[in-house]
Amino acid sequence: MVKPASRQHVTWTGRHAPIPCELRVQRYGICTQHAQDFHIRNAPARQAVAFAHHSSVTPALSTFMTYDRYNAMSLLRPTSHGRSLPQQTEHDIMAIKKYGTAQWTGGLKDGKGNVSTESGALSKQPYGFNTRFEATPGTNPEELIGAAHAACFAMALSGVLGSKNITADLLETKSTVTLEKKDDGFAVTAVHLDLHATVQDIDFAAFSELANTAKAGCPISKLLNAPITLEIVLEQ
């Protein structure tokens, strides 16, 4: 077990040393694509947890540290001994990895499976052929994609609105994923977003433009290889 560093003020220099992202700490997925000088000013000791001088940390880890993932961006302060450095972006500093797992036993139609998420929000949730292709209650991959897309779009829209100094009172989203039989098998052929929003002091045209920007920029939208449509209801 790596003990936290005892010092409150830690200085790290990694000049000209490219850092492979494979060396990132698995839990938080934080790394730097290109090493520069960073100072962590007044960082709590618990947030500097991996240093090469600890016997249990390999020398290969000497060029990076891990931080509380929610405070990582605020702790990093670029410096170059008096010379200003380009501001690091979130893309430069961190890559987030999340996972889901599934187990399946038996054949396609008579088999059974379960699905879980890293967070534990889903834990061995059962699914099967009948919950996916028939009317049996239960989850299925398309439902989970819809939930992920609805959640992602709502957050993306909140961010787009925030860039215009607008805060929504409520954003309710629904993502309907269409699965159809094609000649070469089944495919997701369409995704439809329904948005019911309560936002003050904005007209429908302006809000619609921002909502479509969020739809296009949402990471899950980018992942889906299917036409995505959007229907909006705006209240004030």
For residue 233, is it left (φ>0), alpha (ψ between -120 and 50) or beta? Answer: beta
| The predicted structure's pLDDT at residue 208 | 97
Instruction: Verify that 199 and 107 share a domain, yes or no.
Output: no
Same domain for 35 and 74: yes
Query: What are the φ/ψ torsions at residue 160 (nearest 5 degrees)?
Result: -65, -45
In whole angstroms, what is the distance from residue 30 CA to residue 24 CA? 6
Residues 68 and 81 reside in one and the same domain: yes
- Residue 37 β-bridge partners: none
Closest CA to 210 of 152, 145, 162: 162
Residue 198: C-alpha distances to residues 7, 119, 122, 172 (Å): 48, 30, 30, 9
Residues 162 and 115 in one domain: no
CB 168 within 8 A of CB 152: no
Confidence of residue 36 (pLDDT cuts 50, 70, 90): very low
pLDDT at 204 > cutoff 70: yes
Reported confidence tier of residue 100, pLDDT bands at 50, 70, 90: very high
Helix, strand, or coil (residue 2): coil
Check which CATH number belongs to the domain holding 210 and give it: 3.30.300.20
Top mean-pLDDT range of 91-100, 102-111, 182-191: 102-111
Task: Give mean pLDDT, residues 69-93.
Answer: 46
pLDDT of residue 93: 60
**Which of 76, 74, 78, 8 is CA-nearest to residue 37?**
78
| pLDDT 10s digits, 88-99 | 555 566 899 999
Among residues 97, 129, 151, which one ends one of the domains? 97
Phi–psi pair at 126, nearest 5 degrees: -70, 150
Q: For the chain, how many structural domains are there in total?
A: 3
pLDDT value for 109: 95
The pLDDT of 118-132, averaged and rounded, is: 97
3-state secondary structure of 222: helix
Of 97, 127, 157, the domain-final residue: 97
What was the pLDDT predicted at 231?
A: 96
The helices-and-strands tally (H runs, E runs) of the chain is 6, 9
Q: How far apart, in whole angstroms, are the C-alpha atoms of residue 141 and residue 128? A: 10
Using the predicted structure, report yes or no on whether residue 58 has a pLDDT greater than 50.
Answer: no
**φ, ψ of residue 196 in degrees (nearest 5):** -115, 110
Q: Are residues 202 and 168 in the same domain?
A: yes
The band of 117, judged by pLDDT with boundaries at 50, 70 and 90, is very high
Average pLDDT score over the chain: 74
Domain range for 202 = 140-235
In the predicted model, what is the mean pLDDT of residues 31-45? 37
